[in-house]
Amino acid sequence: MEWVPTVFIVFKASVLCIGMFYAIKWHYDRAKKEKGAGKQRAVLRTSAIVALVFVLLVVGLVVLTFSLGTKLGLDLTF
């Protein structure tokens, strides 16, 4: 039963990463076909910013979770 959360988290992360990849690819290809290189750069820049914000939010959530767990006296060691 201890491996179930690990499998679900890996599956969820995989699905989200694959979905994000195809969403960015679809917008990139559409911009390439319609508007040229300027629009492509804008799509890539925006996708990089969104990915960076997502990573920062995840890191912040992990730090907040561990600090709250420590404050509540939970044992968070592996």
Residues near 27 by Cβ (< 8 Å), separated by ≥ 6? 43, 47
Q: What is the DSSP letter of 18?
A: H
pLDDT digits (tens, 9 = 90+) for 19-52: 988 988 888 888 777 777 777 788 788 888 988 9
Confidence of residue 18 (pLDDT cuts 50, 70, 90): very high
Q: At what angle do helices 4-34 and 37-71 cross, to 10 degrees?
A: 160
